[in-house]
Amino acid sequence: MIKVTLKDGSCKEMKKGTTVIEAAESISMGLARAAMAGEVNRKTVDLRYQLNEDCSLNILTFDDPEGRMAYWHTTSHILAQAVKRLYPNAKLAIGPAIETGFYYDFDIEKPFTPEQLEDIEKEMQKIIKEDLPIERFALSRDEALKFVNEAGETYKAELISELPEDAEISFYRQGEFTDLCAGPHLLSTGKVKAVKLINLAGAYWRGDEKNKMLQRIYGVSFPKKSMLDEHITKLEEAKKRDHNKLGRELGIFMTSEPIGQGLPLLMPKGAKIMQILQRFVEDEEEKRGYVRTMTPYMAKSDLYKISGHWQHYRDGMFVLGDEEKDSEVLALRPMTCPFQFMIYNSKLHSYRDLPVRMAETSTLFRNEASGEMHGLIRVRQFTISEGHIIATPEQLEDEFLGAVDLINYMLDTLGIRDDVTYRFSKWDPENKEKYIDNSEAWEDAQAKMKKILDQIGLPYEEAVGEAAFYGPKLDIQFKNVHGKEDTIITVQIDFSLAERFDMAYIDRNNEKKRPYIIHRTSIGCYERTLAMLIEKYAGAFPTWLSPVQVKVLPIIDKQNEYAENIANQLRSLGVRVEVDKRNEKIGYKIREAQLEKIPYMLVVGDKEMQNEQVAVRSRKEGDLGPMDFDKFAKMITEEIASRAK
């Protein structure tokens, strides 16, 4: 007998060799029905796993992330089985569970059509109905290779051949279908209930664009139909917040075919929000000791050759002129660093001058690949709250902390602190040609950064291979409505460009020293941040950010003059106001203002006119009733000044 400690802390004696599912059955049949996988001594295991010694056991259900993963992973096998039944020539690549469901990659002569997707889904339903038991078996590496080669599964063979020679390789079989897989898996195909194939996409084998493009099918599944319906509704709701749709509907931005891809036009409302953000950032930077620069939008290739951008990012730059024919070529700037470095180098610096904090509201140009553009998130021209801190090694830590503090202040004020995650982006020592080659300096800079991050106590995730070519980064990540993560803000430690630009300061002992450089943004790229704010607030911005803060709605034209008067008084207080003088009923005017997501509507009729009042209607709370105008003016100006959320 062995002792098994359960989740609630209780201890249960079981026979040696009891499987996880048997253990679950001994607890309750309900739990056994819901069981998707097990967790033994904190490691996720299959339901078929045998308990051979004293251990802790937790039964994972669909409510546990790992349980859900097992459920979705099994569904991906059902997908693969259905595809093999309908298209026996399809070759299997990989089919993992992901955060939002699962996918499977196939190599098939002709890409799938959406109609075929329906057929595949139907076949999956059949497989579920057949309730095929899922069996696990293991083979030696050689046996496994023989097995998949006989089946003609060349992608699987490639995967197996890279495993160590003594590896024991597991397979899962359901009916006529067998797949190489580490598991865990459910016990039979009938455990899967509601399935939906979501979309089709191309994906390179092993994520490398040099490899063949495979056909990827994404899907999701749930133990109950109602859960699937709920999930689909949620996806649809999220799409309604899509900045790319909402931003256009609300007249924030537009695109135009003759202007070109990745070149959005900010319309009056979008430009107003941008200006508000920009003033906010610039004022705050000034308070925190930054000086401003304004540097050229282009430079000779010579500059980028010094920085290394010409070598690393030539393809991503808009080059003006022909390198073959012209004696010199210019390029639109893809970043501001070398320009600010030139300003730094314009004089000799004492250690007493440092740190130098330079900021610029900087328009940049990057020739993103044609398939990359997305609304305001990935564009070819954008404006960034760029800046560089030149510091002595002793100052590095404090300056880094200061940069993070500024960022967190921005995130708090915008009300998005809880919507972001922090990523510590490191270099990839396996891929040296992507980076400045100095292993020692990399490890040193990363160690310094890690120390600072740990000291602040930010909950960060490490990401290998995400560093800039000149140094490690702290990236602030935001997930868009489609669940895709983008970097909005970044702080980088640069140990190498000071060398390339021969930047220096004179220390206490009258010796020339290399400074450290921190590349940082306050609010990131304005366009991207705007996109994020649209999605966060579903277009209903906090009052201080709203392009139109108040709409005055006269009930009939008799009150137009009073309405204008009210509007002008508010304008003189710095409030952004419009008056709706159209000959429409009040309900209609309210409806339109509400759809435009304007924070306050002021209804004015005879009663208000007589009493110097306004009937306030809040976008959030509806009719607030009549209020003295002065009181409303005080209320809204305070709300704006405090940047209330």
Rule CB under 7 A: is residue 190 a binding residue for RNA?
no
Which residue lies nearer to RNA by CB, 147 or 341? 341
Which residue lies nearer to RNA by CB, 17 or 429? 429
Whether the CB-CB separation of 56 and 23 falls below 8 Å is answered with no
Which residue lies nearer to RNA by CB, 77 or 366? 366
Rule CB under 7 A: is residue 615 a binding residue for RNA?
yes
Cβ neighbors of 85 (< 8 A, separation 6 or more) are 123, 127
Among 96, 260, 296, 429, binds RNA (CB under 7 A): 260
- Each residue 49-78 as x (binds RNA by CB under 7 A) or -, in order, gives ------------------------------
Which residue lies nearer to RNA by CB, 165 or 621? 621
- Each residue 264-303 as x (binds RNA by CB under 7 A) or -, in order, gives ----------------------------------------
Give the range of 48-56, 454-462, 579-587, 637-645 binding RNA by CB under 7 A: 579-587
Encoded tokens for 153:
């599964």
Give the 3-state DSSP-derived string for 201-260, with helices as H, strands as E and coil as C: EEEEHHHCCCCCEEEEEEEEEECCHHHHHHHHHHHHHHHHCCHHHHHHHCCCEECCCCCC
Rule CB under 7 A: is residue 370 a binding residue for RNA?
yes
Rule CB under 7 A: is residue 88 a binding residue for RNA?
no
Whether the CB-CB separation of 205 and 214 falls below 8 Å is answered with yes
Among 585, 630, 631, 644, binds RNA (CB under 7 A): 585
CA dist 142 and 170 (Å) reads 13
CA dist 15 and 3 (Å) reads 9
Among 182, 348, 573, 595, binds RNA (CB under 7 A): 595
DSSP letter, residue 264: P
Which residue lies nearer to RNA by CB, 138 or 556? 556
Q: Which of 511, 521, 514, 515 is nearest to 489 (CA)?
A: 521
Rule CB under 7 A: is residue 422 a binding residue for RNA?
no
# binding residues, RNA (CB under 7 A):
78
Give the range of 136-144, 179-187, 437-445, 598-606 binding RNA by CB under 7 A: 598-606
C-alpha distance from residue 234 to each of 239, 481, 565 (Å): 9, 10, 45
Rule CB under 7 A: is residue 408 a binding residue for RNA?
no
Q: Which of 183, 203, 192, 187 is nearest to 121 (CA)?
A: 192
Among 257, 324, 418, 433, binds RNA (CB under 7 A): 257
457: enclosing H helix or E strand: none
Among 371, 418, 440, 510, binds RNA (CB under 7 A): 371
C-alpha distance from residue 628 to each of 114, 134, 270 (Å): 60, 73, 32
Rule CB under 7 A: is residue 621 a binding residue for RNA?
no
DSSP letter, residue 418: G
| Positions 509 through 548 that interact with RNA (CB under 7 A) | 519
Whether the CB-CB separation of 66 and 81 falls below 8 Å is answered with no
| Positions 473 through 492 that interact with RNA (CB under 7 A) | 482-484, 486-487, 490, 492
Which residue lies nearer to RNA by CB, 128 or 525? 525
Whether the CB-CB separation of 515 and 505 falls below 8 Å is answered with yes
Among 5, 261, 569, 637, binds RNA (CB under 7 A): 261
Among 200, 235, 329, 506, binds RNA (CB under 7 A): 200
Rule CB under 7 A: is residue 114 a binding residue for RNA?
yes
Rule CB under 7 A: is residue 207 a binding residue for RNA?
yes
Q: Which of 635, 627, 583 is nearest to 603 (CA)?
A: 627
Rule CB under 7 A: is residue 426 a binding residue for RNA?
no
C-alpha distance from residue 568 to each of 476, 565, 572, 631 (Å): 41, 5, 6, 16
| Positions 217 through 256 that interact with RNA (CB under 7 A) | 242, 244, 249, 255
Among 25, 594, 643, 645, binds RNA (CB under 7 A): 594
Whether the CB-CB separation of 378 and 262 falls below 8 Å is answered with yes
Please write down the long-range contacts of 223-232, taking CB distance under 8 Å and 24 or more positions apart.
223/34, 223/62, 223/71, 223/191, 223/193, 223/194, 224/193, 224/194, 225/193, 225/194, 227/194, 228/194, 228/195, 228/196, 232/196
CB of 148 to RNA, least distance (A): 23
Among 368, 428, 443, 639, binds RNA (CB under 7 A): 368
Q: Which of 643, 642, 560, 636 is nearest to 599 (CA)?
A: 636
Burial of 599 (0-12, 13-18, 19+ CB in 10 A): buried
Which residue lies nearer to RNA by CB, 150 or 430? 430
| Positions 11 through 50 that interact with RNA (CB under 7 A) | none
Backbone angles phi, psi at 422, to 5 degrees: -105, 135
Among 6, 145, 151, 201, binds RNA (CB under 7 A): 201
| Positions 543 through 572 that interact with RNA (CB under 7 A) | 555-558
CB of 591 to RNA, least distance (A): 3
Which residue lies nearer to RNA by CB, 254 or 348? 254
Rule CB under 7 A: is residue 586 a binding residue for RNA?
yes
| Positions 437 through 466 that interact with RNA (CB under 7 A) | none
Spell out where 251-352 has E strands: 253-254, 265-266, 291-292, 298-300, 319-320, 330-332
